[in-house]
């Protein structure tokens, strides 16, 4: 297969989806594809799905092994997917057919699509979750909403015979993990560290597990080290990683209720040890609130750790949805309702 043929296949599949309409609560067929669940490691149904649409097109045009490598992995979050291209030196500012386009929305990179045509100062994309459907959209290259473009690793398709769309070949071997992680590093082992910190209850910043060891991750490591009697150097070495693994193992030993079993929401919320916050509150708990609201589809913009009017409005919409009083506050049972699965 040539690169030109690969791009033509990608565009053809993307165009074939134009007009597909989502169902209630962001339901979409793309999130149900087993290849998407395999790529993310979790089911993203009933979430904003523009990034999932793009990944679905790559995975089904080229099969899992090639499709996942073209986008350097692909994630359900637009900002994280853009970062994957940046980490690999493949984020550019001029479009080309087959690029993944990224757009600013709500204060950050929160929308994406596939470039299917470029004409002069304009380019055309196929975008999922645009007006609740797959749409063909025309943009000006210089528009302020255009964040940039991810250039897929097209070299890997040259000479390849693309397997059937429903293939599930083994994933490419993963690079050996580094024994010491520190500020300034990036990669999958950093993402794994961030996920462990989050599970242990430490905030790694508004972008979540993005694979970049920045200041927020540094602070989270220091906080974990302080809480566990380790040297507070912000370096995730063998002792820190061992302590994180032990914390995860201890948490896994806690008895779990069967799926669907009734639980006391107040008791579950108390286990979270999250504070009551309200309009005007600031800090890590507000970051968590904002990230959770966005994930559940109650847009409050880019998390900034400040419970201002937009966050309060999103919180009240969520509380009304759950049959709670929209009073601009969250505590106890409200946290449980927001952070529960499903």
Residue 222 belongs to domain spanning:
188-252
Q: Do 26 and 147 lie in a common domain?
A: yes
Which pLDDT score is estimated for 161?
60
**Domain limit, last residue, from 252, 283, 307:** 252
Q: Do 274 and 231 lie in a common domain?
A: no
**Domain limit, last residue, from 252, 273, 294:** 252
Average of per-residue pLDDT across 239-266: 62
What's the domain count of the chain?
3
The token duo for 65 is: 């092994």
Does the pLDDT value for residue 265 go beyond 50? no
Does the pLDDT value for residue 213 go beyond 80? yes
Q: Do 15 and 120 lie in a common domain?
A: yes
pTM recorded for the entire structure: 0.50
Q: Do 141 and 64 lie in a common domain?
A: yes
Q: Do 116 and 91 lie in a common domain?
A: yes
Q: Do 22 and 61 lie in a common domain?
A: yes
The token duo for 303 is: 């998390």
Polymer length of the chain: 342
Q: For the segment 52-83, what is each residue's pLDDT rounded down to a tens digit?
A: 999 999 999 999 999 999 999 889 999 999 99
Q: Do 133 and 246 lie in a common domain?
A: no
Q: Do 221 and 282 lie in a common domain?
A: no
Residue 147 lies in a domain: yes
Residue 174 lies in a domain: no
Residue 166 lies in a domain: no
Q: Do 195 and 299 lie in a common domain?
A: no
CA dist., res. 174 & res. 253, Å (int): 28
Residue 170 lies in a domain: no
Residue 62 lies in a domain: yes
CATH of the domain at 226: 1.10.101.10
Q: For the segment 90-110, what is each residue's pLDDT rounded down to a tens digit?
A: 999 999 999 999 999 988 999
Residue 270 lies in a domain: yes
CATH of the domain at 42: 3.90.1720.10
Q: Do 275 and 322 lie in a common domain?
A: yes
Backbone angles phi, psi at 309, to 5 degrees: -60, -40
Q: Do 230 and 311 lie in a common domain?
A: no
Share above pLDDT 90 across residues of the chain, in percent, rounded to a whole number: 51
Residue 64 and residue 169 in contact, taking contact as beta carbons nearer than 8 Å: yes
Task: Give 277-325 as a DSSP string.
Answer: EETT-BSHHHHHHHHHHHHTT----S--SB--HHHHHHHHHHHHHTT--
Q: Do 298 and 274 lie in a common domain?
A: yes
Residue 175 lies in a domain: no
Does the pLDDT value for residue 264 go beyond 50? no
What's the pLDDT band for 273 if we cut at 50, 70, 90? low
pLDDT greater at residue 161 or residue 276:
276
Residue 139 lies in a domain: yes
């Amino acid at each position: 297969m040539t690169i030109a043929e690969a791009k033509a296949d990608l565009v053809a599949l993307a165009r074939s989806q134009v007009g597909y309409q989502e169902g209630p609560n962001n339901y979409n067929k793309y999130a149900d594809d087993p290849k998407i669940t395999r790529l993310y490691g979790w089911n993203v149904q009933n979430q904003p799905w523009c990034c999932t649409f793009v990944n679905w097109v790559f995975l089904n045009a080229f099969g899992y092994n090639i499709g996942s490598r073209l986008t350097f992995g692909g994630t359900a979050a637009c900002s994280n997917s853009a970062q994957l291209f940046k980490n690999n030196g493949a984020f550019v500012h001029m479009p080309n057919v087959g690029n993944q386009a990224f757009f600013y929305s709500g204060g950050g990179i929160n929308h994406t699509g596939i470039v299917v045509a470029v004409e002069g100062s304009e380019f055309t994309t196929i975008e999922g979750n645009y007006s609740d459907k797959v749409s063909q959209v025309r943009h000006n290259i210089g528009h302020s909403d255009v964040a940039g473009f991810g250039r897929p690793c097209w070299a890997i398709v040259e000479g390849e015979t693309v397997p059937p769309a429903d293939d599930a070949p083994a994933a490419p071997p993963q690079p050996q993990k580094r024994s010491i992680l520190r500020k300034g590093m990036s990669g999958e082992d950093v993402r794994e560290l961030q996920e462990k910190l989050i599970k242990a209850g430490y905030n790694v910043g508004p972008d979540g597990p993005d694979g970049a060891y920045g200041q927020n991750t540094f602070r989270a490591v220091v906080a974990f080290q302080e809480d566990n009697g380790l040297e507070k150097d912000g370096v995730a070495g063998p002792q820190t990683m061992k302590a994180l693994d032990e914390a995860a193992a201890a948490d896994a030993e806690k008895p779990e209720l069967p799926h669907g079993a009734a639980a006391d929401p107040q008791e579950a919320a108390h286990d979270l040890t999250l504070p009551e916050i309200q309009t005007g509150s600031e800090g890590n708990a507000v970051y968590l609130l904002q990230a959770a609201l966005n994930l559940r589809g109650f847009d409050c913009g880019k998390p900034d750790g400040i419970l201002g009017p937009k966050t309060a409005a999103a919180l009240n919409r969520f509380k009304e949805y759950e049959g709670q009083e929209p009073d601009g506050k969250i505590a106890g049972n409200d946290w449980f309702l927001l952070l529960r699965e499903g």
